[in-house]
Amino acid sequence: MTSAEKSQVKVKFSRELAELKDRLTELARLAAAAMDKSLRAFKERDADLARAVITGDVAVNDLEEAIDEECVRLIALFQPVAGDLRQLMAMDHIIAELERIGDSATNIAEEALTLGQFAPAPIHPRLELMAQSVQEMVRQSLDAFFRGNSHLARQVCLADADVDALDHTIIQDLLREMCGSPGAIVPGQSQINIVRNLERVGDHATNIAEEVVYMVEGESIRHRCQG
């Protein structure tokens, strides 16, 4: 292959990679919007909004599958190496995490529908803090990816410990309340399910951040996040 041909291949690969990033951006937007809507449906007891989240999960799944196929195609066609290959591999892992975030949003929306069948009950006072923390982790992990910022990615990893602590505290409080009042069992269980899904979303954000560190630094920090 001549130098001119190699240059053309490089330009074509860069263009298609940029287009793939645009599609990943759209998937990230859909997943983040689903999380926001599901939490609003829960807080505002908005059944229509909850159903919209559930229906919209199809678009998230379809886009994730399309991007996955494109990642495989680009790897087979261009046979990238080093940083380019790590970037494509990271993208393929990140879209899977985004699809799972969409699944958790759907689960939260389903719990919002369940809670809507009962008289309004107090929401655990720290649940909203947990939701905000998790949403910020997702935002920062994606920001780290698009900016290629491994330092920010490592900060996301560290934030997961606070989310895990909130998960434990809220669930223990809700279990004590449920033991003391039979009427609190169903709404308490729904809140526990929401908390567990939020904790999973925090894990997905952490996984995205770990992929960013690998993409930028070539170092795997899975299961051993570092500051």
| CATH number of the domain bearing residue 32 | 1.20.58.220
What is the tally of structural domains in the chain?
Answer: 1
Decide if 158 is inside a domain: yes
User: Does residue 137 belong to any structural domain of this protein?
Assistant: yes
pLDDT-based confidence at residue 8 (cuts at 50, 70, 90): confident
pTM: 0.92
> Quick check: is 226 in a domain?
no
What residues contact 60, with CB distance under 8 A and at least 6 apart?
A: 27, 30, 31, 34, 98, 99, 102
Domain assignment of residue 225, yes or no: no
Q: Is residue 227 part of a domain?
A: no
**Percent of the chain predicted with pLDDT > 70:** 97
- Is residue 133 one of the residues assigned to a domain? yes
Summarised one tens digit per residue, pLDDT across range 93-128 is 999 999 999 999 999 999 999 988 877 778 899 999
Per-residue pLDDT of 40-75, as tens digits, reads 999 999 999 999 999 999 999 999 999 999 999 999
- How far does the chain reach from its first CA to its final CA, in angstroms? 44
Amino acid 225: pLDDT: 61
Residue 162 lies in domain: 3-217
